Chains A and B, each alone.
Chain A
């Protein structure tokens, strides 16, 4: 196993440039502050480590899992270095945990970057829109560090048209752009991407907000020649597109496999595209209804044969304004479908049955609750291979009708034994059904149940939903993600802490009785990485109980809980590498509606580990309680300045205070003769030496 740099070089003279790079690593600042230069007369031959590093490089290239890579990088400095050289996919789970500069400095050969920004609860209007997560600083750094960059994946980031323009300009080999739940850009930015990225294979816009800048971005794709386009997903774009240009584009894209249209594409237009692209594997059907002003007539195209011609179709979605008369057109492909997304289609149980009856191979099924329990029963009867189910509410309010219930859940649990992931919105639920699912579906990894009425108990027994969720964590041994709802006491959290040993993501809302609840979780779940809590009675004491764990988490979100500013400050003081953001609802403060409003009361606590300290782009409503400032991490710095003089050393002591990255206090002692300086223990800790 290679050690650090200070080994003597071997006799192998191969690779003088390797020696060069190894000597560079010697020019480091050691703890005592010596900056050692290299005497140019000294010869640095490559040493045994270097050979090993070459071998290592060749081996590590095959390591793809980033968890494995992270582990490998911790072995020793040499492995860290080589791993960094061979990592081609960079994943940043929290854009503020590390700066673009630091990330690009460590990893020099990255070809694909994935960055995630805002926390998930921001999707539900719980966070002010200008909070942050800007792509801008990243695009600049990536541009200079990785001119060969091919892929960018962003989730919950703010991306501007300007950023997209830079993407197109900086990266001539750019191939894939995937934007999930992003905002800040519009069709103008898309136009630049379409126009300039000649190697573009993938342009996927998923649930992103795209401003309508009235630009024909589809028309900006090159007009002639074959494109390398493989995937074009724009179902979230809420503005009309130039259909003729799209049609021409599809004709020129023989590699196109995934095409998801937006709702401005009518079924007639869909037909025209399908006959030109029968090789499609993933299709989003757009509106799936007639264009405005067109009536049902005899001259209609043969939709059924168009679908039948798509022999490779495995994934179907869209149906944004479904005209149910046309649903029968898809029967031909149902037998091959592994994924069906009807979650924007307002169809009833009968209509669903006609479709689902054919879908024997279905693994992923997203649907609206308009299909009722009856529809779910039909799905359970046919889709024996189902892995992922999501049932969305047509009417997302607490007192809406609730067409699905425990009956549907029970049916699914009995019919779909291989279920791995479920998201289920309902009004009424029972512990019995949830327990049944825990027993019938042992492969469950993701269990997200949303009983829409807050604090709602088991509607048959009147009991809290503790036992149901308890059974889930107990029986589903592979569970990594859990979202709870309904009436829940601390007991539920006791179960989670006791049995949820693999849980990485936990979402809690309107649940629990006391600090004990959160304590159970923080003390019991060693793998917990993402914890989001709202409107639950957890306070400072509970927050403290997670101190041992927060550095291992990606983030903690707590809003409308029982925390106090002091509690948050305490955490910040105890954990310098944690950024502790508290966010106020300024709108309420301004309206003066909170009479008992304490000055620094707040709504949201959002904290995350970071190597950079508090971010510099925080808007005014975000207050940072972090101790660490601007990378130095110390607020009192004592500089030992040695003034070399002819005959003796002189020492100088400067005391600085750093707040918010600025020097605020400066006092100096007069230079003294070389003598014992009695530092206080505190000052010794902060000693930084400079020459």
Chain B
């Protein structure tokens, strides 16, 4: 059973302790079987939830020495003992207590605007719905090669000239306001930091684009 996320390392700085691996979100059950000495403290995996969250280290020492006499020593040991066995991958179902409906709704705040040089219209994509650069780029390609607005929303349909993939370079603006090349950082980090996407004409993307053209699959 997965244990508490109480860490043994006291007052560790959260950001320095985390590596990329730690920040990686994965789907699936935690792989490491853990002992549960008391059995009862430890948190349980849920019935639906399978996302494995790394909950990292807490910034303050959970059980301060000041109140050691109040705390049941036995339970303290059990908890810290359980913690020792799993350093990073832990998971608590249903905590914090936010309904999945709300969580899902707020997740879709990952909408970013996509602009294409030369096109007067913007599109929005929900980065959360993709799992990799490949998927995102394929979707963008689809979006801009046959660009039709769905009839039941506006009652009009517009078509934009299909773009030639070779000529455009996907770039994005990150949290700090810098323009980066899409694909530079790991996917998860990209989702966290991407504010908006711009498909730049490769002639303009001199400072960013590599010599080799970006991946392209189909044309018109």
Contact = CB atoms under 8 A, between A and B. Distances in A.
Interface of A: 121, 123-129, 181, 207, 209, 236, 240, 242-243, 263, 266, 291-295, 320-321, 343-344, 346, 368, 392-394, 396-399, 425, 450, 452-457, 459, 462-464, 487, 489-491, 507, 509-510, 513-514, 534-535, 537, 539, 559-563, 585, 587-588, 591, 593-596, 601, 603
Contact of B101 (A207, A321, A393, A398): A207
B40 A560 contact: yes
Interface string B138-161: 000000000101101110001000
Nearest to B75: A537
Interface residues of B, number: 67
B64 interface: yes
Given A292-B149, A537-B40, A457 B99 contact: no
B206 to A, nearest CB: 27
A124 B66 contact: no
Given A126-B46, A513-B72, A588-B45, A295 B120 contact: yes
Contacts of A392: 98, 102, 106
A666 B67 CA distance: 62
A125 B47 contact: yes
B82 to A, nearest CB: 12
Contacts of A464: 67, 70
Contact of B95 (A124, A294, A344): A124
Contact of B44 (A487, A588, A595): A588
Given A124-B97, A292-B149, A562 B56 contact: no
Contacts of B109: 321, 346, 394
B58 to A, nearest CB: 5
Contact of B64 (A129, A393, A457, A560): A457
Interface in B10-61: 14, 29, 33, 35-36, 38-49, 53, 55-61
B122 interface: yes
A72 to B, nearest CB: 37
B111 interface: yes
Contacts of A535: 41, 43
Given A399-B58, A513-B70, A560-B42, A126 B48 contact: no
A489 B123 contact: no
Contacts of A601: 39
Contact of A399 (B48, B57, B63, B66): B57
Given A452-B96, A562-B38, A563-B40, 14 more contacts: A126-B47, A181-B99, A207-B102, A263-B105, A292-B123, A392-B106, A398-B5, A398-B92, A399-B55, A464-B67, A513-B75, A588-B1, A595-B35, A596-B36
A593 to B, nearest CB: 5
Contacts of B124: 292
Contacts of A588: 1, 44-45
A56 B93 CA distance: 52
A291 B153 contact: yes
Contact of B49 (A121, A125, A181): A125
Contacts of A462: 60-61, 64, 66
B98 A125 contact: no
B217 interface: no
Contacts of B97: 121, 123-124, 450, 507, 509
A559 B43 CA distance: 9
A463 B53 CA distance: 28
A491 B70 contact: yes
Contacts of A292: 123-124, 149-150, 153
Nearest to A264: B153
Nearest to A588: B45
Contacts of A455: 4, 6, 62-63
25 contacts: A125-B46, A125-B49, A128-B47, A209-B101, A240-B152, A263-B105, A292-B149, A293-B149, A293-B154, A293-B158, A295-B120, A392-B98, A394-B109, A396-B96, A454-B6, A457-B64, A462-B66, A491-B70, A509-B97, A513-B71, A561-B40, A585-B44, A588-B1, A596-B39, A601-B39
Contact of A487 (B63, B72, B106, B121): B63
B203 interface: no
B217 to A, nearest CB: 23
Nearest to B120: A295
Contact of A560 (B35, B41, B96, B150): B41
B106 A587 contact: no
Contacts of A454: 4-6, 62, 92, 95
Instruction: Please give me the 9 A-B residue pairs with the lowest Cβ-Cβ distance, nearest first.
Output: A124-B94, A399-B56, A125-B46, A462-B64, A293-B149, A562-B40, A396-B98, A513-B72, A455-B62
B146 to A, nearest CB: 13
Interface of B: 1, 4-6, 14, 29, 33, 35-36, 38-49, 53, 55-64, 66-67, 70-72, 75, 92-103, 105-106, 108-109, 111, 120-124, 147, 149-150, 152-154, 158
A126 B153 CA distance: 39
A236 B102 CA distance: 10
Nearest to B122: A295
Contacts of B96: 393, 396-398, 425, 450, 452
Nearest to A296: B122
Contacts of A491: 70
Contacts of B71: 489, 513
Nearest to A591: B29
* Interface hub of B6, B61, B109, B152 (most chain A Cβ within 10 A): B109
A321 B111 contact: yes
B47 A587 contact: yes
A463 B102 CA distance: 32
A510 B36 CA distance: 16
A514 B72 contact: yes
A398 B67 contact: no
A603 B70 CA distance: 27
A601 B1 CA distance: 13
Nearest to A621: B47
A463 to B, nearest CB: 7
B31 to A, nearest CB: 10
Contacts of A121: 94, 97
B100 to A, nearest CB: 7
Given A291-B154, A398-B92, A399-B56, A425 B149 contact: no
A596 to B, nearest CB: 7
A181 B101 CA distance: 9
* Interface hub of A209, A243, A453 (most chain B Cβ within 10 A): A453
B55 A398 contact: yes
Contacts of B122: 295
Contacts of A243: 152-153
B2 to A, nearest CB: 9
* Interface hub of B96, B101, B158 (most chain A Cβ within 10 A): B96
Contacts of B33: 593, 595
A125 B94 contact: yes
A625 to B, nearest CB: 18
B67 A603 contact: no
A489 B76 CA distance: 12
A294 B44 contact: no
Nearest to B65: A462
Nearest to A128: B47
B58 A398 contact: yes
A399 B39 contact: no
Given A398-B92, A489-B71, A560 B14 contact: no
B134 to A, nearest CB: 22
B99 A124 contact: yes
A537 B109 CA distance: 38
B87 to A, nearest CB: 14
Contacts of B64: 457, 462-463
Contact of A320 (B41, B95, B105, B121): B105
A293 B44 contact: no
Contact of A397 (B55, B63, B94, B153): B55
A621 to B, nearest CB: 9
A65 to B, nearest CB: 30
Given A509-B95, A560-B42, A125 B66 contact: no
